[in-house]
Amino acid sequence: MTVVAVTGANGFVGQALMAALPKRGCQPRALLRSGPTGDAIAIGEIGPDTEWREALSGVDTVIHCAARVHVMKDDAADPLTEFRRVNTEGTRRLAQQAVQIGVKRLVFVSTIKVNGESTPYGPDSSAKFTSLDTPNPGDPYAVSKWEAERSLQEIAASSSLEVVIVRPPLVYGSGVAGNFRSLIDIVRRGVPLPLGLVDNRRSLVALPNLVDLLTVCATHPDAAGETFLVSDDDDLSTPELIRRLARAMGRDARLMPVPPALLRLAGKLSGNSDKVERLIGSLQVDISHTCERLDWRPPVTVNEGLRETVGAT
């Protein structure tokens, strides 16, 4: 049986992975920063000096979910240094010690932000991000993830370690937090939203779809050395997302017809341009390479994913 270690096993993605891996015939091993809890192994803070070898003994594959995540208001004096310490240097240390202990494969959960912050909305697939695009990370979090990807590729090139990189967009599902949870709460309360005239497209990925792909990447022979993008393969405009959320809750969507130009102006005047752009801009990914290389399709539809998400909040 393939032994798969999951870093960040008590996190949003990690918990779902731990439950899904046995269904794929894998034996999961939970790696946490603190603990241990039950059979989980505590490895402490992640950084350039983390000791991984004992926790990785007997492991075939590592799925590296743990990270210093993107935050809207970062109070660190030097955010890039902090992101690099965990996401870049910590990942490099993990891979180096995985090589020493004989781990066969490392699946790295990166971010679509390595590609960039947005895509132009157009009628054909040429507007979408692909795994072959020149990286264009725009903030410290994305930079640290891109640098981690490069470190992993360098280590793989000089060792027997197989590296698989997965770049998800926004992930939603049972237990989701952050902006997506806030949007659910707003729709549930029936608060009117000035987004009725927004015409954009954004790729999302339901937690079960991301987890399913990660479990495939843990063992599929054709995954080694590849970078995969992932989504539900059903891109939505922001108004359509709100309508589907409302429908999943049995409520009516309340959308006001405000021109996007006015929303952008309001964002600029209030210092919230980034937040506004995430609501009215586009970000689409092309998952054709993922589907073809791995013979994979998202097992859960957007509607199914949204129903599960709102039912758990």
Distances (CA, A) of 263 to 258, 266, 280: 7, 5, 8
Distances (CA, A) of 35 to 6, 9, 39, 59: 15, 11, 10, 20
Within 8 A by CB and 6+ apart from 118, the residues are 277, 281, 282, 283
Of the candidates 201, 203, 196, 180, which has an alpha carbon nearest to the alpha carbon of residue 260?
196
Longest C-alpha distance within the chain, in Å? 59
Angle at 137 between CA 133 and CA 142, to 5 degrees: 120
Cα separation, 59 vs 27, in Å, equals 9
Active-site annotation, residues: 141
**Strands 170-172, 204-206: parallel, antiparallel or unpaired by DSSP?**
parallel
Tokens of 141: 């979090």
Distance between alpha carbon 35 and the CA centroid of its chain, in Å? Answer: 25
Q: CB-hemisphere CA count at 13 Å for 296?
A: 27
Q: What are phi and psi of 171, to 5 degrees?
A: -105, 130
For residue 63, the 8-state DSSP code is E
